[in-house]
Amino acid sequence: MNKISSLIERYQLSHFIILAVIIFIVMPLALDSFRLNMVGKYLTYAFVALGLVLCWGYGGILSLGQGVFFGIGGYCMAMFLKLEASSPENTSIQSTPGIPDFMDWNQLTELPWFWEPFHSFAFTIVAILVLPAIFAFIIGVAMFKRRVGGVYFAIITQAIAAILTILIIGQQGYTGGVNGITDLRTLHGWDIRTDEAKTILYFVNGALLFVCLFAARYIIRSKLGRLLVAMREREDRVRFSGYDVSSFKIFIFCAAASISAIGGAMFTLQVGFMSPTFVGTGPSIEMVIFCALGGRLAILGAVYGALVVNWAKTSFSESFPELWLFAMGALFIGVVMAFPNGLAGLYQTYIAPWLQRFVPEKFHWIITGRSQEENPELPESLQEEKEPSAEDKKSTQGDLSHAGN
Amino acid sequence: MFADYTMAELTSIFAMQGFAGLILFSVFVLMALGLAIIFGQMGVINMAHGEFMILGAYVTYLTSNVFSSYLPESLYGSYFFIAMILAFFVTGALGALVEWSVIRHLYKRPLDTLLATWGLSLIMQQLYRSIFGAREVGVTLPDWLMGSYAITDLIEVPINGIFVMILTIIITVAVALMMQKSRLGKQTRAVVQNRPMAAAVGINTEKVDRLTFALGCGIAGIAGSAFTMVGSTGPTAGQLYIVDTFLVVVFGGASSLIGTVASAFTISQAQSTMEFFLSGSMAKVLTLLTVVIILMLRPEGLFSLKMRR
């Protein structure tokens, strides 16, 4: 037992284990299968928030188009499931059996070429991981190689999210339009609509989330993570040190895109449909608040942020629908102005020291999530941002007046 | 597809479509002007800009209601001018309040301003919904704005459209003159170019920031006022335009007013011309996509100040 706890301490896993206990033990025991499915849905947003922690918190790249990648992942999975659901036997009443119902309603007589490969499950899985990365790569190369960043990047990614939504809604025959792709039934013959299946999917989702969390932690702790932070703070100096800044940015943006897409695919599996309402500018920017509330520098904070905001959204919308937008708006303003480090920051500054009073010093590592030898390592960047020097100010403005050389 | 039309009909279709584009252009310019001042000059992203515009529209709606219920009918024709002035001051005052309470704490963190103003826009949307209802409201146009003016037998242009365009031209010229000649305009530009020096020569930079932000919001209010002439107003109408408007401003080169006007013209004309050939949504997709691709190739926009980095 001692050996295990010292291992946990050395690898600083205490917070991971607490989260794992919450997700894998507390939630399934405490909630009925309907609520558990809902928590599973919230957790799919945690993937996007995690991606944002990487690219926004650490890389300093705020993308307002993460919904695009969530959507790509979701739509890839939905296309595969839809093709399986529309086998010729299931769709024999259509004028063209064997194609998805919405295509039939839109007078399409054969499957469009880009739907064909989604008959294969292997292709779908690869597509979920690779397509968003390719898309992110194209955007990243175009923008970062020209040193476009900051607010310009935010505006362009937001425009891309808007374009994709209009496109999906406009091309009803190919995409299911505003209703999205609905009526998904089975995955390789396994009915995903039963309670039992939903519980299994919840655990699969949780496991995938932990894989991504560990991957993110690995990235952040590697040299790459250090470079990202350095770039965020003083891009010029990193560039002058001989690093190719843009390729690091492109990498982290692609990684965030793939992680978001996994969330999208799991969303489709658990909720049973995918529609453009999860792609557009509104949901995309909402996903940023999950990350901001959790703490933009905290990978576990992303999970808590997604859970808290969505839980609040559901309970508000159930009882006081008109209050929800006020609460959401206040949350945006409050998080940004009062505690830019989010829940993680609150925990570190107030809750952890308070909790420490009740436990012997020997066990403080459980609360801080750090090993005893290591020096406390606070995210300094945001503290610094509050009182920037004149030089800092200038460089921010330089970013704004921007681009091109 | 042109075979069914005669030459004269084609010309008139293009002329009318071009005119529809000009109305869209006017709305874009009015919205983008305020944004160009706030974003181009101050570097602040105001995601609530659309909601400020809608506030102007609601002020106009209320003014027209007051005029029609409490004042003699003969005065109704002039309500719009009063409404416009009111809209300017109401949105400007709210802008100043927002700058004082939120924005000024965030000048050093432009991305955070974006999130905070997005939160503000959600709150404003819900306020409109609670106060005015979710349904769209429209104003009754005074008689002199009704009807249309026939240029030839086939080409007719609506008078309210002409009015909005003239208004746009006047406001654009006024804003350009103000930024170039007036004391506030000069101070704004001085503060943008070199804040410590501007402060050192005695400019109250905080006051200039507040006034500039208020001015940008006030212009959005006027835009909303003009918007009621050509369309109806709902709580979420501002959201529909915000992405386009940001693209207009960025595409034009953020700090150039001429660029803003030019890019508003290009985007609106491209969109309305394509709407004739394609479905509305595809026209919009193609236009926005082209703009985004051009911005990726030339991130500094159409017109930009040459500067060294």
Query: Are A343 and A293 contacting, i.e. CB atoms less than 8 angstroms apart?
Result: yes
State the total domains in chain A.
1
Output phi, psi for A86, to 5 deg. -105, 50
**pLDDT value at residue A1:** 60
Contacts of B108 in chain A (CB under 8 A): 385, 388, 392-393, 396
Instruction: Please tell me if residue A126 touches chain B, with a CB cutoff of 8 Å.
Output: no
Top pLDDT among B240 and B33 is at B33
- The predicted pLDDT at position B97 comes to 94
Q: Which residue of A has its CA nearest to B292?
A: A156
A35 vs B155, higher pLDDT: A35
A400 Cβ under 8 Å from any chain B Cβ: yes
Cβ B87 vs Cβ B225: under 8 Å: yes
Give residue B3's pLDDT. Answer: 60
- Interface size between A and B, measured as CB pairs under 8 A: 145
In a domain, B269, yes or no: no
Domain for residue A348, yes or no?
A: no
Give, for A79, the enclosing helix (H) or strand (E).
Answer: helix A66-85
Which letter, b or e, does each residue of B184-211 get, where b requires 16 or more Cβ atoms within 10 Å of its Cβ?
ebebbbbbbeebeebeeeebeeeebbbb
Percentage of chain B exceeding pLDDT 70: 94
Question: Which of B286, B288, B296, B307 is best to mutate for the A interface (most A CBs within 10 A)?
Answer: B296
Question: Whole-angstrom distance between the N-terminal and C-terminal Cα of chain A?
Answer: 60
Q: Flag if A289 and B115 touch (Cβ within 8 Å).
A: yes
Nearest to A150 among B110, B124, B285 (CB): B110
Q: What is the rounded distance in angstroms from the CA atom of residue A176 to the CA atom of residue A161?
A: 18
Please state the rounded mean pLDDT for residues B268-294. 82
- The answer to whether residue A394 scores a pLDDT higher than 50 is no
- Which pLDDT score, from 0 to 100, does residue B309 have? 42
Least confident piece of the model among A105-119, A307-321, A371-385, B58-72? A371-385
Answer whether residue A395 shows pLDDT above 80. Answer: no
| Residue B259 belongs to some domain of the structure | no
| Contact at CB, A393 and B297, closer than 8 angstroms | no
User: Could you tell me if residue A14 is inside a domain?
Assistant: no
Domain range enclosing B187: 21-238
Decide if pLDDT at B102 tops 80. yes
**Cβ atoms A214, A140 nearer than 8 A:** no
Residue of B nearest to A330 (CA): B119
A155: which chain B residues are within 8 Å (Cβ-Cβ)? 45, 246-247, 250
- Type of residue numbered B289: L
- Res A202 pLDDT > 90: yes
Residue A134 lies in a domain: yes
In a domain, B118, yes or no: yes
Question: Does a structural domain hold residue B40?
Answer: yes
Query: What integer is the mean pLDDT of B115-126?
Result: 91
Per the listing, tokens 């909005």 go with B164
The answer to whether residue A1 sits within a structural domain is: no
Residue B258 is predicted with a pLDDT of 83
d(CA A169, CA A165): 6
User: Using CB atoms, which residue from B111, B295, B307 is nearest to A150?
Assistant: B111
DSSP H helical ranges for A295-320: 299-319
Is residue A401 in some structural domain? no
Which residues of chain B neighbour A177 with C-beta distances below 8 Å?
none
Q: How many domains does chain B have?
A: 1
pLDDT of residue A151: 82
A332 in contact with chain B, both atoms CB, cutoff 8 A: yes
Q: Does a structural domain hold residue A343?
A: no
Q: Is B263 domain-assigned?
A: no
**Option in B105, B120, B285 nearest A163 (CB):** B285
pTM (2 d.p.): 0.86
Q: What is the pLDDT of residue B305?
A: 55
Mean pLDDT is lowest, of A174-183, A381-390, B40-49, for: A381-390
In this structure, is residue A191 part of a structural domain? yes
pLDDT at A373: 52
Q: What is the DSSP string of B262-299?
A: HHHHHHHHHHHHHHHHS-HHHHHHHHHHHHHHHHHHST
The dihedral sign for the CA sequence A280, A70, A284, B133: positive
Q: Residue B283 domain-assigned?
A: no
Query: Among the ranges A127-141, B165-179, B291-305, which has the highest mean pLDDT value?
Result: A127-141
Mean per-residue pLDDT, A273-300: 89
Residues B208-214: what's their mean pLDDT? 91
Chain A residues in contact with B106 by the CB 8 A cut-off are: 336-337
Q: Which of A93-107, A234-248, A361-375, B87-101 has the highest mean pLDDT?
A: B87-101
- B295 CB neighbours in chain A (<8 A) are 156
- Partner-chain contact B307 A401, CB within 8 Å: yes
pLDDT band at A160 (very low <50, low <70, confident <90, very high): very high
Strand partners, B149: B157
Q: Which domain holds residue A85?
A: 37-338
- For residue A374, being part of any structural domain is answered with no
Per-residue pLDDT band at A388 (split at 50, 70, 90) = very low
**What is the pLDDT confidence band of residue B153, given thresholds at 50, 70 and 90?**
low
Give CA angle at A54 (A49, A59), nearest 5°.
130
A130 or A370, which is more confident?
Answer: A130
| Residue A397 pLDDT | 41
Query: Does B114 have pLDDT greater than 60?
Result: yes
Q: A160 in contact with B at a CB cutoff of 8 Å?
A: yes
Residue for token pair 């919001």: B217
pLDDT of A274 strictly over 70 = yes
In B, minimum Cα distance to A168 occurs at B281
- With beta carbons less than 8 A apart as the criterion, state whether A302 and A115 touch: no
Residue type, A379: P
8 Å CB contact of A390 and B284: no
pLDDT digits (tens, 9 = 90+) for A212-252: 999 999 999 999 999 999 998 888 899 999 999 899 999 99
Q: Output phi, psi for B158, to 5 deg.
A: -70, 140
**Alpha-carbon Rg for chain B in angstroms:** 20
Q: Do A400 and B284 touch (CB under 8 A)?
A: no
| Nearest-angstrom CA–CA distance, B24 and B27 | 5
Whether residue A405 lies within 8 A of chain B, CB to CB, comes out as yes
Q: How much is the average pLDDT of B273-295? A: 82
CA distance B225 to chain A (A): 25
Q: Which two tokens stand for residue A138?
A: 């194209």
ipTM above 0.90, yes or no: no
The dihedral built from the CA positions of residue A97, A99, A105 and A108, taken in this order, carries a sign that is: negative
Give the lowest-confidence range in A78-92, B5-19, B238-252: B5-19
pLDDT of B245:
87
Q: Which residue of B has its CA nearest to A164?
A: B285
Q: Are B214 and B96 in contact (CB under 8 A)?
A: yes
The most confident of A12-16, A125-129, B1-5, by mean pLDDT? A125-129
Which of B108, B124, B243 has its CB closest to that of A281? B243
